[in-house]
Amino acid sequence: MPIDLNADVGESYGAYAYGDDPGVLPAVSSANIACGFHAGDPGVMRATVQLAHRHGVAIGAHPGFQDLSGFGRREMYLSPAEVENLVAYQVGALAGIAATEGARLRHVKPHGALYNMAARDAALAGAIARAVRSVDPALVLFGLSGSELIAAGERAGLRVASEAFPDRGYRADASLTPRSAVDAVITSPERVAARAVTMAAGTVTTADGQVVAVKADTLCIHGDTPGAAALARAVREALTAAGIEVRPPDGR
């Protein structure tokens, strides 16, 4: 079974540089590109599409709340209709930019607070799924493994990709360890790479040593941490060494 590696990229803005896109992109198979609301601007989006395209990385939209000063990480309470329009707008905007490079979108992954809220709120999740299907029913919807967003995508008839996080701790119910806990974030490239390999096989080891099932079609590589590029390469090499092909999820 192949697996996808994805990274959030294109999060610079104007004069502001963010992350290490040139370092991370060559190691992943899917690029989630910010769409100008929580990060990114039309020029950054275009340069990121170019870079991803050049490396043969699948291009996806990474829509977020309209909260540049909070980087889309702060919860905002919008109606499902507002979220649906917000997502359709941003996915369309990136599609417009991608067209200037002769590229097409392959997937959509919501960002930050929108991702987290849609993981647990079926109405928001449904709004996102509707927006994605309207803009292009061939797009793959990425969401937290086991979340409402994955369920909403399936109900909407979309191809979905369940996402897991090799650098995050997991609990016995396959949920993420809260960031406030010890071992919430794993920084050793070797450990992260080893976890990626087991996740590709469908399991994860919890902090207290249990092995639990986790569905992982795509693994997230964080691109805004020190050493992100090295981590991404370590994960990719470990997967390849284990005979696991790294490639984007099948679309339609």
Q: Which spans of this chain sit near its own copies (rule: CB under 8 A)?
A: 13-18, 36, 39, 41-43, 45-46, 66-71, 73-78, 81-82, 84-86, 88-97, 99-100, 130-131, 134-136
Smallest gap from Cβ 197 to its own copies, in A, equals 31
Q: For residues 27-61, b (16+ Cβ closer than 10 Å) or e, as one string?
A: bbbbbbbbbbbbbbbeebbbebbebbbeeebbbbb
Minimum distance, C-beta of residue 96 to its own copies, in the bound complex (Å): 2
Q: Which is nearer to its own copies, 1 or 15 (CB)?
A: 15
Q: Which is nearer to its own copies, 29 or 90 (CB)?
A: 90
Residues in the chain: 252
Nearest CB to its own copies, comparing residues 44 and 197: 44
Buried b vs exposed e over 132-142: b needs ≥16 C-beta within 10 Å? bbebbeebbbb
Q: SS3 of 100, please? A: coil
The least distance separating its own copies from the CB of residue 150, rounded to whole angstroms, comes to: 21
Instruction: Decide whether 129 or 238 has the Cβ nearer to its own copies.
Output: 129
Q: Are 27 and 240 in contact (CB under 8 A)?
A: no
Residue 169: what residue type?
G
Q: Can you name the residues that pair with 107 across neighbouring β-strands?
A: 60, 140
Between 41 and 121, name the residue whose CB sits nearer to its own copies.
41
Q: How far is the CB of 41 from its own copies (least distance, A)?
A: 5
Q: How far is the CB of 10 from its own copies (least distance, A)?
A: 12
Q: Which residue(s) pair with 141 in the sheet?
A: 108, 160
